[in-house]
Chains A and B, each alone.
Chain A
Amino acid sequence: MKATINWLADPAISFTLIILVFFLVFPITDRLEKISKRLKIDLLWTNTGGLIALGVLVLFFVWGLTDENFRLIVTKPDNVPIVGLIFLVGFFTWLSMKQARENDNRMGQGGQPLEASDKSKVLVWPDLIYIEFICLILATVLLFAWSIFVKAPLEEPANPTLSPNPSKAPWYFLGLQEMLVYYDPWLAGIVLPTLIMVGLVAIPYMDTGDRGTGFYSYSGRKRAISTFMFGFLVLWTFLIIVGTFLRGPNWNFFGPFEVWDANKRVVLNNVNLSEYVYVFLLETGLPRGWLIREIWGILLVVGYFAVLPGLLAKTVFRNLYERWGTVRYSTFIVLLLMGMALPIKMYMRWLFNLKYIVSIPEFFLNI
């Protein structure tokens, strides 16, 4: 059992499984939504479904805690927030989707969303103040209990000559640190985070119109919600979980029930695209000049960002392009392609051991 879970947890496998399940749980097209309905996945968004999911998760943690390795990593003081995060994100995903599905059903029968059903107003004092007060008390109690039971960590005094293995950033940046496995720091640490911010800011300017404001709903906004959830749950939260719980010494992968063995050997035979082309395919050996050496990778990258958007505008995204016009469409597609560049590179690594698509160490430019 533990061996199976260790094996399943490997990013290549868990990530694939998650993607497959994700688009059934958060269907992005009408077709997928029909399949999802037929599989009765919506049962997840009922009280019973939610309780069962919670039960399974709790059981997994309780059972896992009986294992020494699992306990060691999960109960590390600075990792406690992420265990909380898993439950909180799960709970609030459920809460929003439950309300969304209820409203979808109401509107499907010609009704109004629940939020619109009672147009009356209430006084802030006492109705809102009272709720806020309870929230504050609960948060305070939680914070005090947490602070009494879990000591803030303090390790050995700083020693710049002795680097711990692994060295980890604070947990909320571990998604970015996990990206370092696939992209160099200038992309994983600077360009991608910048684009995440730009992408978030751009959301209201791409998904315009005020239809669907002010109530929970899925069917009417499935493309927007599914895309956002993919970023939030899969590319951000999941990578944080991997980076926190499953990365040990030398940033090697370790299953949740595996010993963090600093001597674990992982064969690193990653190969650049240029080597694939010149060494394996043409068998000529790498050319000396960087331009000729990297031209295939450069063409690939340029093609991805310059040609692919045009192709997509003519095919898959034809309607979208016509509705949105060039500027809005271009913003959207560049952000989408950037977002997709991460999973694409992940799979290229797992399937072909691909290291860099473009590698010009002369200019510190590796992609």
Chain B
Amino acid sequence: MADTETTTGTPADGGNGAGNGKKATRERTPFAESAFWRSIFRSGVPRTRAARMMGVLNSVFLHLHPVRLPKHAVKVKYTWCMGGLSFFLFLVLTITGILLMFYYRPTVEAAYGDIIDLGSQVPLGIMREIHRWGAHLMVITVWLHMFRVFMTGSYKPPREFNWMIGVILLVLTMFLSFSGYLLPWDQLAIWAVTVGANMARAAPLLGHEGPGAALLSIGDVNFIHAGADAKFALLGGRFLGGATLLRFYVLHCIGVPFIVMIFMIVHFWRIRKDGGISGPT
């Protein structure tokens, strides 16, 4: 692999380690040419066109991108960077979320107090704020991203399927945010979730107060009742309580992020496979 650089016009100076620094010219940082540096970044300092291309190709992170892009596609006024920002916020939320998990216990007794401690006891006490406002921001950036994709007509063939993946990501993003809303276990949290749960109760066929629920029965045996319906499944009980908190906690911290990640992988893969960022044909 490292041989490819010889074609770039910057031949690697064999023994030019840090010790021989005096000999090196000003513009070349000897360390960046050292064997140690080269063991990490094989293509060296990306000064030439070819080295830059290799740099993108060789990095597992950067190679999500193609090597070259049409000029219009890198402009902020075209993509608004909104997909990228959504992904970035997802990463920020993952990191801050992991830190919050160190301190937060999902039980009715402990949750509220832990949230208070997060602000008052834990060093750098704005972790909760970054997580909460980041989540709100991500909902907004995902909406705006969808809006941009619509306005540039980028849902049209061959990108129909990726648009569908996008819609799933949109719904998952909102559910992720919603499931986190319960965790502080304050009045705001439980009553917001109650509003949602009451809608589940009224789901057609699957909610015990929904139209058609009575149809799912054999003789006198109802399959859908207050102890077995969509609301029960959401809350883990007839009423909102400890079981609900645990359920939302698991979904919020592991279940939904896991699913979101899978769909994001597909989303990013498909962007490339559908021919990269859309552009006029």
Contacts and interface: CB of A to CB of B under 8 A. Distances in A.
Interface of A: 78, 81, 84-85, 88-89, 92, 95-96, 99-100, 112-116, 118-129, 131-132, 135-136, 139-140, 142-144, 146-148, 150-160, 162-164, 167-173, 176-177, 184-186, 188-191, 197, 200-201, 203-205, 207-217, 221, 225, 228, 232, 363-365
B143 to A, nearest CB: 8
Interface of B: 46, 49, 52-53, 55-56, 62, 65-72, 74, 76-78, 80-81, 84-85, 88-89, 92, 108, 112, 115-116, 119, 126, 128-130, 132-134, 136-137, 139-140, 144, 146-148, 150-160, 163-164, 167, 170-171, 174, 177-178, 181, 184-192, 194-196, 198-204, 207, 209-214, 239-241, 278-281
A99 to B, nearest CB: 7
A164 B191 contact: yes
B112 A185 contact: no
Contacts of B140: 81, 84-85, 88
Q: What does DSSP make chain A's interface, helix, strand, loop or mixed?
A: helix
A114 B72 contact: yes
Contacts of A211: 156
A146 B133 contact: yes
A46 to B, nearest CB: 15
Given A96-B148, A232-B147, 6 more contacts: A121-B69, A147-B126, A154-B116, A185-B201, A189-B202, A210-B158
Contact of A143 (B80, B137, B207): B137
Contacts of A205: 160
A-B pairs, top 10 by smallest CB distance, nearest first, are A189-B199, A147-B129, A204-B160, A185-B202, A116-B280, A81-B136, A365-B211, A214-B278, A167-B191, A115-B72
B177 A92 contact: no
13 contacts: A126-B46, A127-B74, A129-B65, A143-B137, A150-B129, A156-B187, A157-B112, A168-B191, A172-B139, A177-B195, A185-B201, A213-B280, A216-B152
Nearest to A232: B147
A131 B76 contact: yes
Nearest to A115: B72
B156 A209 contact: yes
Given A125-B56, A213-B281, A186 B211 contact: yes
Contacts of B46: 125-126
B68 A121 contact: yes
A155 B67 CA distance: 50
A267 B40 CA distance: 73
Contact of A364 (B69, B70, B163, B202): B202
Contacts of B203: 186, 189-190
Contacts of A85: 140
B154 A124 contact: no
A126 to B, nearest CB: 7
Given A158-B185, A184-B202, A121 B70 contact: yes
Residue with the greatest number of chain A CB neighbours at <10 A, chosen from B53, B178, B192, B278: B192
A154 B104 CA distance: 15
Nearest to A113: B280
Nearest to A85: B140
Contact of A158 (B78, B154, B186): B186
Contacts of A164: 187-188, 191
Given A131-B81, A216-B152, A153 B210 contact: no
B116 A95 contact: no
B99 to A, nearest CB: 13
Nearest to B130: A147
Nearest to A103: B280
Given A170-B178, A208-B157, A213-B281, A139 B148 contact: no
Contact of A124 (B65, B78, B84): B65
Given A129-B62, A208-B157, A151 B151 contact: no
B163 A203 contact: yes
Contact of A201 (B52, B129, B167): B167
Given A158-B189, A167-B195, A186-B207, A148 B156 contact: no
Contacts of A84: 137, 140
A100 B85 contact: no
Contacts of A95: 77, 80
B186 A204 contact: no
A84 to B, nearest CB: 7
Contacts of A131: 74, 76, 81
B195 A122 contact: no
Given A96-B148, A118-B72, A124-B69, A221 B187 contact: no
A115 to B, nearest CB: 4
B202 A190 contact: yes
A89 B145 CA distance: 11
A135 B92 CA distance: 14
A152 B128 contact: yes
Contacts of B136: 78, 81, 171
A39 B105 CA distance: 60
A128 B151 contact: no
A159 B187 contact: yes
B254 to A, nearest CB: 21
Contacts of A363: 211-212, 214
Contacts of A188: 199
B120 to A, nearest CB: 11
Contact of A155 (B187, B211, B278): B187
Given A155-B188, A190-B202, A208-B157, A123 B53 contact: yes
Contacts of A81: 133, 136-137, 139-140
A158 B242 CA distance: 11
